[in-house]
Structure 1
């Protein structure tokens, strides 16, 4: 396990302080009700799971047994829950919401949804999409075990829906990291559409990198000429960087291109994409041409890279 930087720890703590204030969980009662955040979470679990054993509830929420017992006792005294012996194990207590409890949860659920809706409505749709995607990334990374096996990935052929993901993620990632405008999305959409409309599967392929059942990268190998293949649309999700995804995608392109008889591979990129350029350099590509251009709302320097192919790549 690598050491965690103090600045990273401080950044997470600052985010936690900011977010808990924004969503109002520091107030005495959640969404202007009499219930604390913990009590609201218990009501939510009971509302969504139905009848459940108290021990399972404790494990799901990682609560101290005594603390949970006191809350459940208060809920029972208020008529919010009823309890009995578990049908599967008579030694365990099973709890469920009463009609009064379901009504209390309905109020909590409605007010909480309204508050989040108000929070999101203050931002334009594009920002909302980025926010939700960032939250999903946080959840995916924090829920994933830290063992190396959980950070393994596989390469596969695209499935229905993956091509749309390629367009959306290219547009979103490059907009967030480099400020590229919708014209880049249009270019990616054109490349993908042309590939789908008429690619030769014997000499042209696409790959999706997948980690934990989620797409985290992509690359395309298309025909540039009879003897030259072109690498296009290399993308690695920020959440998967450092796993070797980009290098594996490029290596698969090279292997395939060599196998089907191309003599060289060419690609076009921009000098600001330093991580991608390092991958190309390590894979044996050489920079052969640079030229300034204005594209995607930015002044850029385009670069052409080439690599000769041979039997060693097979």
Structure 2
């Protein structure tokens, strides 16, 4: 079992207290109704599933079968739920809401809608978007099976600013680079955007491309192809967030970039890296790049060995 720091435990408990208080989940009854949270969830699932069985409910809601059986017996007794033979298997029964049960569920959902309106009505569209992203992140981090597969797409407005920011932060945290590295990255991006958009020379418009790894709106990594001469391109801004490393995303980004270079008719592709980036060097070798030049000098606040790697397509 992984060890959680005291700060992590305290933060999680603080959020739990906040969340249960804000939704009044510490009360015995939910939304001023005669139902507990578990009872309301059972009514919701019966009302929204086409063929719902007691076994389905027990598995989905992680309810003790004995506790669930007593709850369903009560619902049947007060006229909210009926049991009917399953159309697929006459030996089993499905659960259905009666008209009173449907009315009770409608009142619960209306009360829930009013509560959400009260809680969230003051949020701006940007704040609502941020909240939904945060809620999705919590859901997917705690339930890995629900997380969508990260997407690799071409860059959109605003992406290069994010890439520059993550380069500056990660290289400072992991390698101790200073602020001059951020300037170096941003200067290269400004030049790329000027040419790519045709601001400098319309004949060069659209040269090169950038790809971004994204999951639920969150940045996961990047790579770029920048044309330096008519038949020569440079790979730049190759980066993976720590949680995306060792999962094949570096290989997929390299594939995007190298295939693009081949399709655009480039004859040579090169890149600059530093000797400390061992995993990246291994990946470059795998994709047919050869170390061509090294130079040691003081740059970005450190003495580093820069390396040029080339590939002939």
Which band: TM-score by shorter chain?
A: 0.5 to 0.7
Is the 1:206–1:218 Cα contact (8 Å) retained in structure 2?
yes
Residue 138 (structure 2) pairs with residue 132 (structure 1): no
Q: Whole-Å Cα distance in 2 between the matches of residues 278 and 61 of structure 1? A: 52
Residue 79 (structure 2) pairs with residue 73 (structure 1): no
Q: Whole-Å Cα distance in 2 between the matches of residues 310 and 234 of structure 1? A: 19
Change in 2 beyond 3 A, CA 1:47/1:170: farther
Stretch of structure 1 that moved more, 18-27 or 59-68: 18-27
**Paired position in structure 1 for 2:55:** 55
CA RMSD of aligned residues (A): 4.7
Residue 231 (structure 2) pairs with residue 231 (structure 1): no
TM-score by length of 1: 0.64
For 1:105-130, what per-residue CA distance to the aligned partner results, in whole angstroms no more than 9, with x for missing partners? 11111211221232222333333222
**Residue 141 of structure 1: CA displacement?**
2.0
SS in 2 for 1:76: helix
Change in 2 beyond 3 A, CA 1:165/1:243: farther
Change in 2 beyond 3 A, CA 1:244/1:109: same
SS in 2 for 1:30: coil
- Which one of 217, 220, 226 corresponds to residue 224 of structure 2? 220
Change in 2 beyond 3 A, CA 1:154/1:39: closer
Is the 1:208–1:217 Cα contact (8 Å) retained in structure 2?
yes
Q: Any residues of structure 2 matched to 1:197-208 within 5 Å, and which?
A: 198-199=205-206, 204-207=208-211
Change in 2 beyond 3 A, CA 1:207/1:65: same
**Paired position in structure 1 for 2:271:** 265
**Paired position in structure 2 for 1:33:** 33
**Residue 40 of structure 1: CA displacement?**
0.9
Q: Whole-Å Cα distance in 2 between the matches of residues 229 and 137 of structure 1? A: 34
Change in 2 beyond 3 A, CA 1:60/1:72: same
Q: Whole-Å Cα distance in 2 between the matches of residues 144 and 127 of structure 1? A: 25
Alignment length, in residue pairs? 265
Change in 2 beyond 3 A, CA 1:254/1:50: closer
Q: Any residues of structure 2 matched to 1:1-314 within 5 Å, and which?
A: 3-7=2-6, 8-145=8-145, 158=153, 163=155, 167=159, 170=162, 191=193, 194=196, 198-199=205-206, 204-207=208-211, 209=213, 216-226=220-230, 227-232=232-237, 234=239, 236=241, 240-243=243-246, 247-248=250-251, 251-252=254-255, 260-262=266-268, 264-265=270-271, 283=280, 307-311=307-311
Change in 2 beyond 3 A, CA 1:250/1:110: same
Q: Whole-Å Cα distance in 1 between the matches of residues 160 and 229 of structure 2? A: 28
**Residue 22 of structure 1: CA displacement?**
1.7
For 1:83-136, what per-residue CA distance to the aligned partner results, in whole angstroms no more than 9, with x for missing partners? 122222333221111111111111111211221232222333333222210110
Change in 2 beyond 3 A, CA 1:132/1:211: closer
Stretch of structure 1 that moved more, 55-64 or 254-263: 254-263
Q: Whole-Å Cα distance in 1 between the matches of residues 5 and 55 of structure 2? A: 37
Is the 2:275–2:307 Cα contact (8 Å) retained in structure 1?
no
Is the 1:20–1:26 Cα contact (8 Å) retained in structure 2?
yes
Is the 2:86–2:93 Cα contact (8 Å) retained in structure 1?
yes
Q: Whole-Å Cα distance in 1 between the matches of residues 250 and 275 of structure 2? A: 10
TM-score by length of 2: 0.64
SS in 2 for 1:26: coil
Q: Whole-Å Cα distance in 2 between the matches of residues 235 and 165 of structure 1? A: 20
SS in 2 for 1:72: helix
Considering only CA atoms, is the larger Rg found in Structure 1 or Structure 2?
A: 2
Is the 1:80–1:99 Cα contact (8 Å) retained in structure 2?
yes
